[in-house]
Amino acid sequence: MAQRRTKPVSLVLLVLALSLAVISYFGVGAGRQYLTDQAFEPIRVPAPTAPAPGIAAMLAAAAVAPPAVAGSRANAPIPTPAGVAAALAAELSDPELGPSVAGQVFDAGTRTLLFDQRSTAAVAPASTAKLLTAAALLSVRQATDRFSTRVVAGSEPGTVVLIGGGDPTLSAAAAGRPTRYPAAARLTDLAARVRASLGTARVERVLVDDSAFTGPATAPGWGTEDTPSNYASLITATMVDGGRDVPEAEIRSAAPDLAAGNALAAALGATAVDRGSAPAGARVLGQVRSAPVDVLIEQMLRSSDNVIAEVLARHVALATSRPASFAGAAEAVRATLAGAGIEIGDGMVDGSGLSLFNRVPLAAISSTLLATVDAKQSRWRPLLSGLSIAGWDGTLLEEDRFSGAAAVAAGAVRAKTGTLTGVTGMAGLLTDADGRLLVFSFVADQAPSAFESSSRGAVDSLVAALVRCGCR
């Protein structure tokens, strides 16, 4: 999770300039997230206004553009494999990475392999696995698709049934209050539609129908300390605010489905909440729809939200007629990516990378990123706008990321991080000193202190070494 910290005015201006650059490059979709995604932006960026005299020149001079995903700077030379290997040699020997480091570097424009180390070995991907989930979902659903949550009439008077449709960001925030996840559907709107449908009839009982998802609510390899925690909850088809009891909670819910039912009951004045099933052919009393798929993917990636990831993986299963369970979702992601020419093997057991049992070849992560920058795979582009920018936002704005000598990478790297017990890694895009766009992926899965700044800093140093060099 990105930590909040106070920035001086000059850096806020830098971020504003960067945000405007992102909007101009990626379009309105990405800009919407950079300017309104307050749940994931440690810096509150003011709405763009005409700059005061003198400020315009400062912004122009200070702006650091994100990597150009459409290609490299004109005539930028391609690094050589020998140059890349030489640039990485010292950093790869850092003991903080441990004895098992897998890595790949490609030239994005020509797909030339510039560096390869253990890329076919099955490694624990940690949260870089979310890139696989995102790509699979964008293969089977449109970026504009939304997921519905419905309330139908129960079989008894005074009873309504809340039917979860797999919207992980549905919000219980009070009317007029910001939602934890921007653009989220609101239970207050759903309750208002139910009341309008029922007229003067009272609601006394809310049943929660969670049947859209099946199987265990936690994955193999999840520890007892993982649920509930500040990074995971049980995975249910019905939940509010990313599996929380209330929007402002840091620790997620031990019963996300009932938390959603309780929130709806409070909005409707009902006094009883229980689990149940919707009667066949029940009258729909109201429904709301989630933010679009591309927004959910951006939110999942930028904050590395495990709960959103697991729910989205189940939507891959549903779209491919598989059980919406951990096993069904993992198989759906595997088969969907295989159809796109990306082989992840049989080692994934969840969609977030949280499980200690996950194993995939690093080459699958690299291939996913290469396909994403390929113009032929334009439907995967929301994956790119969800990547954090080094030194600016998301998981790459944590206090210890890209500091010291690695600060050279600020603004030049877009990436997804991965941190788990014994695992530290990063995968994404960067622009080198010559302006060449590179795709990279690194995972150290025997790191002695993966959650410590020294271990994560070692990965940052690997990436910064590529940013600094033309590697010829």
Per-residue pLDDT tens for 319-356?
999 999 999 999 999 999 999 999 999 999 999 999 99
Report the C-alpha gap between 5 and 373 in whole angstroms.
32
Q: Indicate the SS3 state at residue 164.
A: coil
The verdict on 313 and 390 lying in the same domain is: yes
The verdict on 239 and 275 lying in the same domain is: yes
The verdict on 450 and 396 lying in the same domain is: yes
pLDDT band at 285 (very low <50, low <70, confident <90, very high): very high
What is the domain count for the chain?
A: 3
User: What are the tens digits of pLDDT across the range 62-113?
Assistant: 344 444 455 678 789 999 999 999 999 999 999 999 999 999 999 999 999 9
Report the C-alpha gap between 41 and 394 in whole angstroms.
7
The verdict on 396 and 311 lying in the same domain is: yes
| Nearest Cα to Cα of residue 111 among 426, 436, 462 | 436
pLDDT band at 24 (very low <50, low <70, confident <90, very high): very low
Handedness of CA 444, 70, 394, 293 (dihedral sign): negative
Report the C-alpha gap between 178 and 249 in whole angstroms.
14
Q: With contact defined as beta carbons under 8 Å apart, do 85 and 413 qualify?
A: no
Query: Is position 344 within any domain?
Result: yes
The verdict on 101 and 15 lying in the same domain is: no
Residues with a catalytic annotation lie at: 127, 130, 304
Q: Indicate the SS3 state at residue 227.
A: coil
The verdict on 354 and 412 lying in the same domain is: yes
N- to C-terminal Cα distance for the chain? 36
Q: With contact defined as beta carbons under 8 Å apart, do 369 and 131 qualify?
A: yes
The verdict on 175 and 225 lying in the same domain is: yes
Query: Is position 185 within any domain?
Result: yes
Structural domain for 307, as ranges: 81-142+296-468
pLDDT of 374: 84
Query: Is position 219 within any domain?
Result: yes
Domain boundary among 291, 325, 349: 291
Q: With contact defined as beta carbons under 8 Å apart, do 253 and 239 qualify?
A: yes
pLDDT of 69: 55
Query: Is position 309 within any domain?
Result: yes
The verdict on 265 and 323 lying in the same domain is: no
Report the C-alpha gap between 239 and 312 in whole angstroms.
13
Q: Indicate the SS3 state at residue 157.
A: coil
User: What are the tens digits of pLDDT across the range 411-447?
Assistant: 999 999 999 999 999 999 999 999 999 999 999 999 9
Summarize the confidence of residues 226-239 as an average pLDDT.
Answer: 97
371 DSSP 8-state letter: H
**Which residues neighbour 361 within 8 Å (Cβ) at sequence distance 6 or greater?**
119, 120, 121, 122, 123, 343, 344, 345
Report which of residues 437 and 26 the model is more confident about. Answer: 437
The verdict on 118 and 183 lying in the same domain is: no
Summarize the confidence of residues 137-166 as an average pLDDT.
Answer: 97
The verdict on 87 and 207 lying in the same domain is: no
Average pLDDT over the chain, rounded to an integer: 87
pTM, two decimal places:
0.86
With a cut of 60, say whether residue 41 has pLDDT above it: no
Report the C-alpha gap between 163 and 392 in whole angstroms.
39
User: What are the tens digits of pLDDT across the range 380-421?
Assistant: 999 998 999 998 888 998 878 899 999 999 999 999 999 999
Report the C-alpha gap between 132 and 351 in whole angstroms.
8
For the chain, what percent of residues have pLDDT higher than 90? 77
Query: Is position 4 within any domain?
Result: no
Domain boundary among 291, 310, 342: 291
Report the C-alpha gap between 391 and 408 in whole angstroms.
10
Report the C-alpha gap between 345 and 324 in whole angstroms.
20
pLDDT of 451: 81
User: What are the tens digits of pLDDT across the range 182-216?
Assistant: 999 999 999 999 999 999 999 999 999 999 999 99
The verdict on 356 and 452 lying in the same domain is: yes
pLDDT of 398: 80
Summarize the confidence of residues 345-369 as an average pLDDT.
Answer: 97
The verdict on 280 and 326 lying in the same domain is: no
Query: Is position 72 within any domain?
Result: no
With a cut of 90, say whether residue 454 has pLDDT above it: no
Report the C-alpha gap between 329 and 371 in whole angstroms.
21
User: What are the tens digits of pLDDT across the range 104-122?
Assistant: 999 999 999 999 999 999 9
Query: Is position 102 within any domain?
Result: yes
Which domain CATH number covers 89? 3.40.710.10
pLDDT of 14: 43
pLDDT of 45: 28
Summarize the confidence of residues 122-149 as an average pLDDT.
Answer: 97
Summarize the confidence of residues 39-43 as an average pLDDT.
Answer: 30
Residue 111 corresponds to which amino acid?
R
Summarize the confidence of residues 157-182 as an average pLDDT.
Answer: 97
Domain boundary among 291, 323, 348: 291
- Helices 187-198 and 256-268: crossing angle in degrees, nearest 10, is 50
| Nearest Cα to Cα of residue 238 among 296, 331, 170 | 170
Residue 463 corresponds to which amino acid?
V
pLDDT of 70: 58
Query: Is position 69 within any domain?
Result: no
